[in-house]
Amino acid sequence: MKVQHLCTVILFMLFMLSCSEEEQDDVLYIPTNVNFTDSELALIEQTLDLPASPYNYANLPLPDHFKTDEATELDNTPANNPITDIGATLGRVLFYDKNLSANNTVSCASCHQQSAAFADNLKFSEGFNGALTRRNSMGLINSRYYENGKFQWDERAETLEDQVLMPIQNHKEMGLQLAELEAKLEQLDYYEILFEKSFGSDEISSDRIAKALAQFIRSMVSFNSKFDEGLIAAGNPDVYEDMPDLPNFNEQEKLGMDIFLRGRNGATCGYCHGGAQNVNDAAKNNGLDLNYADKGKGEFTGNSSDFGLFKVPSLRNIALTAPYMHDGRFETLMEVVEHYNNNIQAHPNLNFRLTTLDDGDEEEGEVLKLYLSQEEKEAVVAFLHTLTDQTIINDEKYSDPFK
């Protein structure tokens, strides 16, 4: 029996040694000793400007309208990768580190700039070798609240952890293979400390890189806009059609909210951009074209019913992320409003909320036209500006830590 037991132990140990690095990293590690020692900080400070104790990323002071059951259900944070202060700190460093590109010229932040609400104010972003991306850079704020957890405009990334590694490997964007990335980071002293603090050992793997980046991005939650202040002042009502006027809104902003959220003139904006997080978790066709050169989700799935479907971005800080749509075709919010007002195209996959149908079960319906006046269109734009959060775009803990 002792021999059999010994054999069992040996086989188990061999099995554990044969497990892939990714499988081992799936074991949840909760960091405890997160403060840097004087010697660690001295080494880090040669390159980075980080505090001795990490910033708070894990326990943000969210208002009550971000703590509802509905908001909790939207949260796509996986059980094996909760946000930790030190993990998000590592993610912040990785996010801004140009060593993640083949020639050390671009970082994640090159295309997702804090001042632009972690989007890019160019129609298409410029990669490490000067080539342009084929789609507009989507803002990252409130990524945590996409319930289905899928990312990229065509939703081909199953999780945020999958998504963050895609630009690194893309031949136009950052141009590195994951093995090359790991080897590069192993040569940088500050990562030995940061990975040790975040994951319990200094081992650098693409799985850990993905987890740290995802933690940092999920911590990018916007909750300090004029809209949030109004919700708090109104007692945190449900953000639905029957919500009351917000006491801090002027008359123009109230009119814009009346159209956007309450459906005045038949507008259905709130169905796809509703709730306190202003997100939607399903790719949709919003009638940009009758024939799409970029087939969106359909390009990835191959299903004709997915042609022209694209991920719905959060509208938080939307006034800062121009130009708009997957191809950056609209330069201003007024152009976007005018599209939904009078220019929706009757594509076969057009979302039923942009038609005159009452639900998605009927077979026919006319394309929705709102016939908004100039005053009403300007009011909608004014409401969208109330979603701007100056705090997050100026917060040091989301800024570039490199000296």
pLDDT in tens, the chain (403 residues): 444 444 433 433 443 444 444 444 456 888 887 999 999 999 999 999 999 999 999 999 999 999 999 899 999 999 999 999 999 999 999 999 999 999 999 999 999 999 999 999 999 999 999 999 999 999 999 999 999 999 999 999 999 999 999 999 999 999 999 999 999 999 999 999 999 999 999 999 999 999 999 999 999 999 999 999 999 999 988 776 678 999 999 999 999 999 999 889 999 998 898 788 888 889 999 999 999 999 999 999 999 999 999 999 999 999 999 999 999 999 999 999 999 999 999 999 999 999 987 655 556 679 999 999 999 999 999 999 999 999 999 999 999 999 9
User: Could you tell me if 57 and 215 are in contact, meaning their C-beta atoms sit under 8 angstroms apart?
Assistant: yes
Distance of CA 127 to the CA centre of its chain: 20
d(CA 364, CA 356): 9
* β-strand partners of 310: 284
Look at domain 226-385 and name its CATH class. Answer: mainly alpha
What is this structure's pTM? 0.91
Burial readout 8-43 (b: 16 or more C-beta within 10 A, e: otherwise): eeeeeeeeeeeeeeeeebeeeeebeeeebeeebeee
Tokens of 332: 């201003």
User: 132 - beta bridge partners?
Assistant: 126
- Domain 29-221: give its CATH architecture: Orthogonal Bundle (1.10)
- Residue closest to 296 by CA, chosen among 286, 282, 306: 306
144, 218 in Cβ contact below 8 A? yes
Q: Token pair of 173, please?
A: 């964007």
247 CB neighbour count, 10 Å cutoff: 10
Q: Report which of 316, 303, 314, 311 is spatially closest to residue 157, judged by C-alpha positions.
A: 311
Q: Where are the domains of the chain?
A: 29-221, 226-385
Contacts of 212 (CB under 8 A, 6+ apart): 87, 88, 90, 91, 94, 198
pLDDT digits (tens, 9 = 90+) for 211-249: 999 999 999 999 999 999 999 999 988 776 678 999 999
Cα(67)–Cα(363) distance, integer angstroms: 38
Name the phi and psi angles at 377, rounded to 5. Answer: -65, -40
> What are the phi and psi torsion angles at 378 (to 5°)?
-65, -30
On the question of a common fold for 29-221 and 226-385, the answer reads: yes
Query: What is the Cα–Cα distance from 187 to 369, expressed in whole angstroms?
Result: 58
- Bridge partners (DSSP) of residue 126 are 132
